[in-house]
Structure 1
Amino acid sequence: MAHPAQVGFQDAASPLMEELLYFHDHALLILTLVSVFVLYIIIAMLSTKLYDSYTLDAQMIEIVWTALPAFILIMIALPSLRILYLMDEIDDPLLTVKAMGHQWYWSYEYTDFEDLQFDSYMIPTQDLLPGHFRLLEADHRMVVPTQTPIRLLISAEDVLHSWAVPSLGVKMDAVPGRLNQASLAIARPGVYYGQCSEICGANHSFMPIVVEAVPLKHFESWSYNMLQDT
């Protein structure tokens, strides 16, 4: 969960988000080194009379300023491609959840069960309980087991939406008529909040996403009770 005056990312709750944080730090380090080097060159140029023919026509300098940017791009591209493949990789998911975006709420369907589905609406401010977060709490949470590979199917019924939970490293567009998928594996129990990240209309800011991760035995009890209620 984010906190006031936070500068960095939220704490990672999934292996994928941990990889994204490592890549962010890696790219930020390269960016810092490049910025310092460019600043040094600018200061050196302003404080030196560059009339020497060796400086103006040096073949080695031309090779360096051509090869160095290419090397930097490779250092950024390789780990980036690795993470992209990890995001698309879904190995033997034990649970499949379908998230549908509507104007303006989410509906969830657990396709491994015969009749386990529900709508998730934002709780109005006047109905919030102590400990609830304004504009982020939903009446029905998406409950999933921890340390379990999950396939998340995402689509929309009306307009473009986007299912995004920063702590889990998931952000996938919900497109009408198209079924997108994302992988989800939550490392520890907790409640993780997100919001629709696509400007989908007047109530775009009032369709939160709440994911509650629980141990497998608690998920089995929850799913059994949900099926009994239906």
Structure 2
Amino acid sequence: MKMSKGQIGRRLLGWAVVATAMGACGKASAELGQPAPWEYKLQGSASPVMDNITSFHNWLSVLIIVITLFVLGLLVAVVIKFNAKANPVPSRTTHNTLIEVAWTLIPVLILVTIAVPSFRLLFEELDIPKADLTIKATGKQWYWTYAYPDNGKFEFDSLLAENKQPRLLGVDNEMVVPVNKIIRIETTGADVIHSFAVPAFGIKIDAIPGRLNETWFKATKTGMFYGQCSELCGKDHAFMPIAVRVVSDQDFAAWVEDAKKKFAANPENSFASAGTAAQ
């Protein structure tokens, strides 16, 4: 059916509005610490460690592109200069000492250049500073249990909430932390190996039964930040998200008081009620 100019204009305007909305949605999602549509880069940073991870990633990407273009240029030069038509009589050169030294030393120097900031970043991730708050995260099939030993020793379960957005990331009980504080995460597994990972904070560490692993982060922005179990742990591996709500000191203190009343009332924590909420 042939459309008039007015119909075509309205349809194009509609597409533009939809595209703009999708772009805004993706931008908002990235700012809120969750995946964005068509995302091709790392999630937006919300911690000093993730700032350094992003900088290292960007610098390394540039280095890789430069090396790739250099090798591509060499291949093109060889194809043009040393093909059979341009060289009907092939060279009988057996070796070139300068070139052999160069292609040995240059890769070594490149690897050292990569290794130094890589080791520095790894040390920063593993060297846990004095913590303002410690949280124990226990991976279970298939949900997380969070304990706050510094704030009254209460704990609660955090399960996927199917009626919450974002899909497969919303939970019934979020882990809550104060902004601009050093948070130490102690993690273990209750049954099989899990992995505690929140991309916006630059943390990912295995939760292993019988072993206590540690990591840390300092959230520099308030809001919701999402992660997931990153170790294949069974049939519902894809349904055990991590949700961290970063709030001000005052809001965190108020939440702790409410949490003590809510979760201390049930010594078995919130698994039964949480399971009902997740249905």
So what's the TM-score if we normalise by structure 1?
0.93
* Aligned mate of 2:152, from 114, 118, 124: 114
1:150 is aligned to 183
For 2:182 and 2:94, how far apart are their aligned partners in 1? 58
Q: Cα RMSD between the aligned structures?
A: 1.4
1:31 is aligned to 64
Q: How does 1:5-24 map to 2 (within 5 A)?
A: 5-24=38-57
List alignment gaps of at least 5 residues for structure 2.
1-33, 265-279
Q: Aligned pair count? A: 224
Structure 1 residue ranges, 4+ long, deviating more than 4 angstroms after superposition: 50-53
Q: 2:241 matched to 1:208?
A: yes
CA displacement, residues 137-159 of structure 1 (integer Å, 9 cap, x when unaligned): 00000000110011100101000
For 1:210 and 1:163, how far apart are their aligned partners in 2? 11
Q: Residue 112 of structure 1 aligns to a residue in which SS?
A: helix
Offset at residue 30 of structure 1 (A): 1.1
For 1:123 and 1:2, how far apart are their aligned partners in 2? 18
**Amino acid of the structure 1 residue aligned with 2:159:** Y
1:60 is aligned to 98
* Aligned mate of 1:85, from 109, 123, 148: 123
List alignment gaps of at least 5 residues for structure 1.
none
What percentage of residue pairs aligned between the two structures are identical? Answer: 38
For 1:43 and 1:216, how far apart are their aligned partners in 2? 60
For 1:196 and 1:2, how far apart are their aligned partners in 2? 15
So what's the TM-score if we normalise by structure 2?
0.77
For 1:38 and 1:169, how far apart are their aligned partners in 2? 32
Q: Residue 35 of structure 1 aligns to a residue in which SS?
A: helix
Q: How does 1:125-164 map to 2 (within 5 A)?
A: 127-128=163-164, 132-164=165-197
* Aligned mate of 1:75, from 98, 101, 113: 113
For 1:22 and 1:197, how far apart are their aligned partners in 2? 23
For 1:32 and 1:134, how far apart are their aligned partners in 2? 35
For 1:5 and 1:56, how far apart are their aligned partners in 2? 50
For 1:84 and 1:99, how far apart are their aligned partners in 2? 22
Q: 2:123 matched to 1:95?
A: no
2:9 is aligned to none
Offset at residue 32 of structure 1 (A): 0.8
* Aligned mate of 2:77, from 33, 37, 44: 44
For 1:134 and 1:42, how far apart are their aligned partners in 2? 47
For 1:216 and 1:89, how far apart are their aligned partners in 2? 25
Higher relative contact order (CA 8 A, sep 6+): 1
CA displacement, residues 15-38 of structure 1 (integer Å, 9 cap, x when unaligned): 101100011011111111110111
**Amino acid of the structure 2 residue aligned with 1:6:** E
Structure of higher CA gyration radius: 2
For 2:39 and 2:217, how far apart are their aligned partners in 1? 25
Offset at residue 228 of structure 1 (A): 2.7
